[in-house]
Structure 1
Amino acid sequence: MDKENMISQKLRTLLAEKNMRASNLAKETGIAQSTLSKITSGKSRSIQFDTIEKISKSLHVEPSELFTPCRPLGGHDK
C-alpha cells in the first residue's frame, strides 16, 4: 500500500473514531476542504508535511500515526 492510501485510510479511521467530519477538520486546521477530500479519498498525489502536522495536531495524534496501517475491520488480522 502506498503512503497516500495509508494516510487516507488512517485519516478516515481517526475521523470516525473521534466522531468528526472532514468539514470540521477543515475548519479547525485551515486546510481547504477540497484538499482534505482528496486526502480522504486517496486521490492526493502528495501531501505537504505542514498539512500532516495540522491534521495530527487537530486529531491529537503524532504525525507518525498517520503512517501506521489500520487494523482490518472487526479487529482481526488476516
Structure 2
Amino acid sequence: MQIGSIAGEAAPIPSAVLRAARLHIVGSGIGSVSPPDFIAELPESAAAVTGGRLDVQARPVPLADIAHAWDDQSSKRLVFVP
C-alpha cells in the first residue's frame, strides 16, 4: 500500500485490519533519509535513471501546460519542467 500526503495528513486504519494481519508499516520519502545520506546516493541514483537501469514512469510537462496536465489520470508521475 502506498499512502501519499496528497490524500491527506492522516491514514485511518480499522483496528480489525491491524488485529487480523501481520502488518509492517515502513516510512519512506525525503523525511526518512538524512540529507547527507540522500546527497551521497543521488549521483548513483541519477546514473541508474539516465543509464536505463532504473525505469522511472514519469512524463515531463512544460509549466505552460500545467493547467491541462493537472487533471491527467494516467499512471505516470508528472514532472513539471520550466
- TM-score of the superposed pair, with normalisation by structure 2: 0.20
The structure with higher relative contact order (CA 8 Å, sep 6+) is 1
TM-score (norm 1): 0.21
* More strand by percentage: 2
Whose helix fraction is larger, Structure 1's or Structure 2's? 1
For the pair shown, the structure with the greater C-alpha radius of gyration is 2
